[in-house]
Amino acid sequence: MRKILLLSLVLASPLALAGPQCTTAERSQWQDQKAFQDQLKAQGYQISKFKVTDGNCYEIYGFDKDQRKVEIYHDPVTGKAVKTEIKG
């Protein structure tokens, strides 16, 4: 019984850490990464790290216009925030 419980925890743990699924659109429909980052910077964001996730999101780590530490997942087609975490 313990082995089954342990196995289910091990298999489920990567799912708990996974970010959202942002789009299923082909990459040819996505916004240009640099242009997208430039738009965010124009809105007052400071981007420390930018990456494309396994869930097809543009993910940023940085600070918003109010200097709060943020982690935001964006739909790369529409640019809309799918998930936002404010760290402080």
Which DSSP helix (H) or strand (E) runs through 71?
Answer: strand 69-74
Q: Are 62 and 46 in contact (CB under 8 A)?
A: yes
pLDDT at site 15:
46
pLDDT at site 16:
46
The mean pLDDT value for 10-26 works out to 72
The CATH class that applies to domain 20-86 reads: alpha beta
| Per-residue confidence band for 17, with pLDDT thresholds at 50, 70 and 90 | low
DSSP state string for 9-36: HHHHHHHHH-------S-GGGSPPHHHH
Indicate the DSSP class of residue 28: G
Q: What percent of the chain has pLDDT over 70?
A: 78
Q: What is the mean pLDDT of the chain?
A: 88
Domain ranges of the chain: 20-86
pLDDT at site 19:
85
Whose structure tokens read 């998930």?
83
